[in-house]
Amino acid sequence: MSNSDIILEVNNIQAWFGDFQAVKGIDLKYEKNTVNAIIGPSGCGKSTYIRTLNRIHEEVEGARVSGEVILDGKDIYAPDADPVEIRRKIGMVFQKPNPFAAMSIYDNVVIGPRLWGKKKKSELDEIAFNCLTKAALWDEVKDKLHQEGTSLSGGQQQRLCIARTLATNPPIVLMDEPTSALDPIATGKIEDLMSELKKDYTVIVVTHNMQQAARIADYTSFFILGELIEHGLSSDVFTNPKEKKTEDYITG
Ligand code: ADP
Ligand code: MG
């Protein structure tokens, strides 16, 4: 990949919980408009790592991070960087769908833009339409935008959370096991969605499901015990693995 295609550069990221080191020096470069999977056995540091990419790991009591994450030529850990601004540019979707309770579908999507000063109804309407459309949810909710977000099915709630993340227009979307809590049909919809999202965003997704990674990801990174063991085109990582990994480690 040429340098101009790189949107995010991770240099020697390490992360601790107190004295315990969960992530042990990761170097990776992410290319624009790609889906990037992170796989590896339970407890190998996938969630901790992805949470260093938008500075939410540091919210945990006693947590610490060292290293650099360069976005737009600037380290997100630079002393003058604002974590809130970073999370607007590097959004996160979690394993368990978490729409804001007692809040409508519409308000769930536009809450970010509202906080960032967008107040005009026409502007917010456009954001709600665009983001719900990109999240493949518009047709299912257009007639009930003022119903509570939590009234939707699990899969719809997760797509609502994706729409909410897209509403701050982040170039990068992080997802931590976004389909683990969903049934196969809802999972399939989100897998299809990821291929669409990469037209406009760069997606970094943790999954413990190797078949899913092979289906959706352009690149796959394989972690063991906080270290990056292998990284490359998914087609290479899965068809011609450098190490014997797969079923030996991955138990699902
Ligand atoms: P994965 O997402 O790959 O399953 P995690 O990143 O959640 O792994 O965890 C990596 C390691 O950090 C594990 O050994 C886990 O027990 C430990 N860990 C995770 N969260 C905490 C925490 N809040 N406090 C202390 N240790 C933690
Ligand atoms: Mg995890």
pLDDT digits (tens, 9 = 90+) for 40-72: 999 999 999 999 999 999 999 999 999 999 999
Residue 252 is predicted with a pLDDT of: 39
Q: State pTM to two decimals.
A: 0.94
Q: Where does the pLDDT of residue 243 fall: very low under 50, low under 70, confident under 90, or very high at 90 and above?
A: low
User: Tell me, what's the ipTM?
Assistant: 0.99
CA of 21 to the centre of ligand 1 (A): 9
Instruction: Provide the pLDDT confidence category of residue 205 given band limits of 50, 70 and 90.
Output: very high
**Sequence-ordered list of residues with C-beta below 8 angstroms from that of 229, at least 6 positions apart, any chain:** 40, 222, 223, 242, 243, 245
Nearest CA-CA partner of 90 in 108, 64, 71, 107 = 71
Return the pLDDT at 83.
94
What local confidence, expressed as pLDDT, does residue 117 receive?
A: 86
Describe the strand order of the beta sheet including 227-233 as a list of residue ranges: 90-93, 172-176, 202-206, 35-39, 219-224, 227-233
Q: Tell me the CA–centroid distance for residue 43 and ligand 1, in Å.
A: 5
What residues contact 194, with CB distance under 8 A and at least 6 apart? 35, 175, 203, 205, 216
Give counts: helices (H), strands (E), the chain: 10, 10
What's the rounded Cα separation, in Å, for the pair 182 and 195? 18
Output the CA 22–ligand 1 centroid distance in Å: 7
Provide the percentage of residues in the chain whose pLDDT is more than 90: 90
- 20 CA to centre of ligand 1 in angstroms: 9
Strands (E) located in the chain: 6-17, 20-31, 35-39, 63-71, 74-75, 90-93, 172-176, 202-206, 219-224, 227-233
Q: Which residue minimizes the CA distance to atom 21 of ligand 1?
A: 17
35-39 and 202-206 beta bridge pairing? parallel
Give me the pLDDT at residue 118, please: 78
What domain count does the chain have? 1
Task: Give the residue whose CA is nearest to atom 16 of ligand 1.
Answer: 43
d(CA 246, CA 177): 18
Q: Are 144 and 105 in contact, with CB atoms under 8 Å apart?
A: yes
Is the CB of residue 63 less than 8 Å from the CB of residue 17? yes
134-143: pLDDT as tens digits: 999 999 999 9
Q: What is the pLDDT of residues 102-153, one digit of tens each?
A: 999 999 999 999 998 878 999 999 999 999 999 999 999 999 999 999 999 9
pLDDT of residue 244: 54
SS3 216: helix
Q: What is the pLDDT of residue 245?
A: 52
Mind listing the pLDDT tens digit for each residue in 12-29? 999 999 999 999 999 999
pLDDT at 250 over 70: no
Predicted pLDDT of residue 44: 97
Average confidence score pLDDT of the chain = 93
Per-residue pLDDT reduced to its tens digit, 160-185: 999 999 999 999 999 999 999 999 99
Ligand nearest to the CA of 51: 1
Position 191 pLDDT exceeds 50: yes
Q: How far is the CA of 76 from the centre of ligand 1 (A)?
A: 22
- Name all residues whose Cβ lies below 6 A of ligand 1: 17, 20, 22, 40, 42-48, 60
CATH code at position 166: 3.40.50.300
Residue with the smallest CA separation from ligand 1 atom 1 is: 43
- With the most atoms of ligand 1 within 8 angstroms of its CB, the residue from 26, 42, 46, 48 to mutate is 48
Q: Note residues around ion ligand 2 (Cβ under 5 angstroms).
A: 47
DSSP state of 39: E
Q: Nearest CA to 23 among 66, 69, 70?
A: 66
pLDDT of residue 193: 94
pLDDT at 4: 76
Longest Cα–Cα distance in the chain: 56
What does the alpha-carbon distance between residue 249 and residue 42 come to, in Å, rounded to a whole number?
9
Range of the domain at 243: 3-249
